[in-house]
Structure 1
Amino acid sequence: MLRLLIADPYPADRDATIDLFAELGFSVILSPSALDAVARCEASLPGLLIVDAALDGALDLVEAVRLVPGGRTIRILYAVAEADLRRLMAAKRAGADDFLLKPYDIKVLHALFDEMLAKAAAATAA
């Protein structure tokens, strides 16, 4: 099962997303702050990191995870409430791989994660 770390400052959003991503086949870990998320990544890198743009230090988190040993190999998605080009480009420069628009659309998530989960399952079976 692919491990997913979600760094989101809002408890209600974290609680709502845990079931959504668990249903998609992820083992979900929640983090309320950038510092906590960096510490969790340093202890054990997830396969996927979703960083909410509203998190204090969100861009610093993306940069810090990329510096962790193995941090260049994980996929980092930057979650935004609106598509602000300046914010998206800053996230890309910090090291984000892609973006998610909140609230999450289950069809978009399935399309984005199906291939990733299939690769993880194949690697586990091998």
Structure 2
Amino acid sequence: MPTCLIVDDSSVVRKVARRILEDLDYVVEEAEDGQEAFEKCRDNMPDTILLDWNMPIMGGLDFLKHLRAFIGGEKPYIVYCTVENDIGQIALARKAGANDYMMKPFDRLILEAKFDPDRLAEAS
């Protein structure tokens, strides 16, 4: 079964995303910020990551840079999730190593499309 790490400081976002991803047969872990997420990745690198932009302690962009520089950190497929509709921020995330992005609020159809296992298999 594929694995996904949901990284978001909102417990509501994590709960909603977890429910949808588990319905897609993902094994899901959660982290409240980039630092916790990086520690979890060091212990067990996930296949995919749903990553929030703005978080305390370590934000999404810093997490991306640290993860992609870490041995094995090139592996996860990362979907950057933001409330910002700023092309510049999206470009920064892509440059730092995000594979895709989506806007908040998201719904089941959007998340299912981004994390469809067949789509991700084609991307790797």
What's the TM-score once normalised by structure 2's chain length? 0.85
Q: Which residue of 1 aligns with 2:52?
A: 52
Q: After superposition, what is the alpha-carbon deviation per residue over 1:82-115, rounded to whole angstroms, capped at 9, x for unaligned? A: 4210110111121111101222232233333331
Q: Which residue of 1 aligns with 2:93?
A: 91
Please state whether the residue corresponding to 2:106 is helix, strand or coil: coil
- State percent identity of aligned pairs: 29
Distance 1:65 1:53 in 2: 14
Please state whether the residue corresponding to 2:102 is helix, strand or coil: strand
Q: Which residue of 2 aligns with 1:33?
A: 33
C-alpha deviation, 1:39, in angstroms = 0.3
Distance 2:114 2:16 in 1: 19
Give 5+ residue unaligned stretches, structure 2.
none
Please state whether the residue corresponding to 1:19 is helix, strand or coil: helix
C-alpha deviation, 1:21, in angstroms = 1.1
Give 5+ residue unaligned stretches, structure 1.
120-126
Q: 1:59 to 1:11 in 2, by over 3 A?
A: same
Please state whether the residue corresponding to 2:9 is helix, strand or coil: coil
Please state whether the residue corresponding to 2:54 is helix, strand or coil: coil
- Is the contact made by 2:8 and 2:52 (CA closer than 8 Å) also made in structure 1? yes
C-alpha deviation, 1:71, in angstroms = 1.1
- Is the contact made by 1:6 and 1:51 (CA closer than 8 Å) also made in structure 2? yes
What's the TM-score once normalised by structure 1's chain length? 0.84
Deviates more, 1:80-89 or 1:34-43: 80-89
Query: Which portions of structure 1, spanning 4 or more consecutive aligned residues, are displaced by more than 4 angstroms?
Result: none
Q: Spell out the pairing of 1:1-126 with structure 2 (5 A cutoff).
A: 1-56=1-56, 57-114=59-116, 115-116=118-119, 119=121
Aligned residues: 118
Amino acid at match of 2:82: V
Larger Rg: 1
C-alpha deviation, 1:25, in angstroms = 1.6
- Is the contact made by 1:2 and 1:27 (CA closer than 8 Å) also made in structure 2? yes
- Is the contact made by 1:35 and 1:61 (CA closer than 8 Å) also made in structure 2? yes
Distance 2:107 2:67 in 1: 26
Distance 2:12 2:102 in 1: 18
